[in-house]
């Protein structure tokens, strides 16, 4: 008798995970053995339209007879088995819901779902179509493409005047964008499923600006710092703190007497600080490199007075303390998030015992990856070899253990900018701005996906796991 083949555990696990996500979502909206179906037509008004300035966001206004919760289930009309869900509008009779993560020139169908403690209701399907995007965005046209290589979203920036920040789906298609009257220098996806942006102009350095904005996926600007209320030039990084505040790198200048080494008696030196602001723009905490290093002790200070140290990234360690990357010193510092004291320095001339073969130079994008490793995009300017690195650090005995050391081919050498993010246990998302490339690679260096992103090149590409967007719905 021929045996029936059992499905593999990986397939079972994947199917089970998807089923659980959908089941949890439905259970949250319609409680099992809950209210009966509404006897009356609960929807008394219903209207939908594309947003005037965005072809990938569809606003739907709904009026209901009774107070309750409304959510919208929507799908590509020709893909009935794959649905999305909007955010929930809670306990009101007037609902305004925005459908996002849409593709251009696509037909969609949707149903309105209503629920309160008395009854639930579901409308018939309605439909709408999106239009062609009318702003300059380059989708990812994969020159190589391995379908199973990743299943998330990619956040990119078009750093030009009237530029934009945009999200790309697993097929490289644009599903969200926000246009700006200015140059979006840096963007970052937060753990509150919003997007932070540093906005500047040609007068600012490549990665700096005088405004910070935050947007949700519905296109609402949920935060703005700028003008007289924001006396900083932010650069390279903006993040959400664990407390929900806004943290950014900023330039700071102080005056020193450098006459004994060939400078002026009142010489202005520009270095870096971290500022943390509440959502009203009030300063909650500040850290300055000048409080911990004396620039007069730097033998090369006359060459670097305009940008001393060049901090280019910061993030939060697992314990809540701050990690900051200083490109020109080839070091990562860990800073106490209360006292501001330097806990350790990692890299060349740092506190950790590390094989010199793993020294990095002109590095970017320090962050903790999903495996709790310190991940670094090593530009490798000293040896002109770019690498992707990650380390486990023993902070007690100051020993570094390399977990990933992937040398990039010469064609992907990047003397500045760049990023690398873990996709899953095997694959990585890599941004090489100098080559204008986005790559998906396995940890052995095999290129699974490769795309050209055009001009202007993005500062970095962040990977957003698909479950984060599922949870946002």
H/E stretch holding 12 reads helix 9-29
Q: What percent of the chain has pLDDT over 70?
A: 90
CA quadruple 180, 182, 184, 189: dihedral, nearest 10: -40
In whole angstroms, give the CA distance from residue 289 to residue 304: 14
Q: Which residue has the tokens 């073969």?
A: 357
pLDDT band for 29, please (50, 70, 90 cuts): low
DSSP one-letter code for 144: E
Q: What percent of the chain has pLDDT over 90?
A: 75
pLDDT band for 11, please (50, 70, 90 cuts): very low
Is pLDDT larger for residue 292 or for residue 139?
Answer: 292
Candidate from 106-110, 411-415, 418-422, 453-457 with smallest mean pLDDT:
453-457
Distances (CA, A) of 404 to 219, 319, 443: 38, 22, 8
In whole angstroms, give the CA distance from residue 417 to residue 218: 30
pLDDT band for 471, please (50, 70, 90 cuts): very low
- CATH number of the domain located at residue range(s) 142-472 in this protein: 2.120.10.30
In whole angstroms, give the CA distance from residue 236 to residue 417: 10
CA nearest 465: which of 197, 155, 235? Answer: 155
CA nearest 192: which of 147, 239, 152? Answer: 239
Which residues are within 8 A (CB) of 80 and not within 5 positions of it... i.e. 6 or more apart?
109
User: What is the domain partition of the chain in residue ranges?
Assistant: 9-129, 142-472
| Cα end-to-end span (Å), the chain | 48
Quick check: 410 and 400 in contact, CB under 8 A? no
pLDDT band for 23, please (50, 70, 90 cuts): very low
Region 416-440: mean pLDDT is: 93
Quick check: 222 and 194 in contact, CB under 8 A? yes
H/E stretch holding 349 reads none
Three-state helix/strand/coil letters over 48-99: EEECCCCCCCEEEEEEEEEEEEEEEEEEECCCCCCEEECCCEEEEEEEEEEE
DSSP alpha helix (H) spans, 142-255 = none
Quick check: 13 and 19 in contact, CB under 8 A? no
H/E stretch holding 136 reads none
Considering the entire predicted model, what is its pTM? 0.89
H/E stretch holding 401 reads strand 399-407
Strands (DSSP E) found in 258-360? 267-277, 283-288, 311-316, 322-326, 331-335, 342-347
Q: Is residue 10 classed as helix, strand or coil in its secondary structure?
A: helix
Q: Is residue 23 classed as helix, strand or coil in its secondary structure?
A: helix
pLDDT at res. 330: 97
In whole angstroms, give the CA distance from residue 102 to residue 158: 19
Q: Which residues of 388-409 are buried (b: 16+ CB within 10 A; e: fewer)?
A: bbbbebeeeeeebeebbebebe
Distances (CA, A) of 444 to 94, 205, 212, 405: 54, 36, 38, 9
Peptide bond into 456 cis (omega under 30): yes
**pLDDT tens-digit map of 99-115:** 999 999 999 999 999 99
**pLDDT tens-digit map of 266-320:** 999 999 999 999 999 999 999 999 999 999 999 999 999 999 999 999 999 999 9
One of 1.10.620.20, 3.40.50.1370, 2.60.40.10, 1.10.357.10 is the CATH number of 9-129, namely 2.60.40.10
Which residues are within 8 A (CB) of 34 and not within 5 positions of it... i.e. 6 or more apart?
115, 120
pLDDT band for 170, please (50, 70, 90 cuts): confident
- Average pLDDT along the chain: 89
Quick check: 354 and 388 in contact, CB under 8 A? no
Residues paired with residue 438 on neighbouring β-strands, in sequence order: 431, 451
pLDDT at res. 10: 41
Quick check: 107 and 76 in contact, CB under 8 A? yes
CA quadruple 110, 114, 119, 122: dihedral, nearest 10: -10
**pLDDT tens-digit map of 321-371:** 999 999 999 999 999 999 999 999 999 999 999 999 999 999 999 999 999
């Amino acid at each position: 008798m021929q045996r029936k083949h059992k499905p593999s555990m990986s397939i079972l696990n994947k199917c089970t995970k998807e089923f659980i996500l959908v089941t949890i979502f439905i259970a949250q909206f319609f409680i099992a053995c809950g209210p009966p179906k509404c006897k009356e037509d609960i929807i008394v008004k219903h209207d939908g339209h594309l947003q005037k300035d965005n072809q990938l966001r569809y606003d739907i206004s709904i009026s209901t007879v009774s107070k309750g919760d409304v959510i919208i289930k929507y799908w590509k009309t020709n893909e009935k088995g794959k649905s999305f869900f909007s955010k929930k509008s809670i306990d009101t009779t007037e609902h305004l819901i925005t459908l996002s993560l849409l593709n251009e020139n696509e037909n969609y169908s949707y149903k309105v779902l209503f629920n309160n403690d008395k009854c639930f209701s579901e409308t018939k399907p309605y439909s709408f179509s999106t239009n062609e995007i009318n702003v300059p965005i380059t989708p990812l046209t994969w020159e190589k493409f391995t379908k199973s290589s990743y299943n998330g979203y990619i956040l990119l920036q078009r750093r030009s005047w009237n530029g934009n920040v945009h999200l790309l789906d697993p097929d490289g298609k644009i599903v969200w964008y926000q246009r700006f009257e200015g140059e979006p220098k840096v963007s970052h996806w937060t753990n509150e499923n919003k997007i932070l942006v540093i906005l500047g102009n040609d007068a600012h350095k490549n990665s700096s600006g005088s405004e910070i904005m935050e947007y949700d996926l519905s296109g609402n600007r949920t935060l703005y710092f700028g003008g007289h209320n924001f006396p900083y030039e932010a650069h390279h990084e903006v993040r959400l703190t664990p407390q929900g505040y806004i943290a950014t790198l900023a330039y700071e200048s102080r005056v020193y007497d450098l006459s004994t080494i060939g400078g002026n008696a009142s010489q202005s030196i520009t270095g870096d600080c971290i500022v943390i602001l509440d959502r009203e723009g009030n300063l909650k905490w500040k850290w300055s490199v000048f409080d911990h290093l004396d620039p007069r002790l730097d033998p090369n200070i006359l060459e670097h007075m305009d940008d001393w140290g060049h901090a280019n990234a910061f993030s939060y360690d697992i314990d809540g303390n701050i990690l900051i990357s200083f490109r020109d010193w080839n070091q990562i510092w860990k800073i106490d998030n209360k006292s501001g004291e330097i806990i350790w320095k990692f890299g060349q001339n740092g506190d950790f015992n590390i094989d010199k073969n793993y020294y990095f130079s002109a590095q970017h994008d320090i962050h903790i990856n999903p495996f709790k490793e310190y991940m670094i995009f090593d530009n490798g300017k000293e040896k002109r070899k770019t690498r992707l690195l990650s380390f486990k650090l023993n902070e007690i005995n100051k020993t570094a253990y390399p977990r990933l050391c992937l040398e990039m081919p010469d064609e992907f050498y990047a003397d500045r900018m760049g990023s690398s993010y873990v996709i899953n246990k095997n694959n990585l998302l890599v941004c090489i701005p100098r080559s204008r490339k986005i790559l998906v690679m396995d940890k052995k260096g095999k290129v699974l996906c490769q795309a050209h992103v055009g001009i202007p090149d993005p500062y970095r590409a962040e990977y957003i796991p698909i479950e984060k967007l599922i949870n946002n719905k």
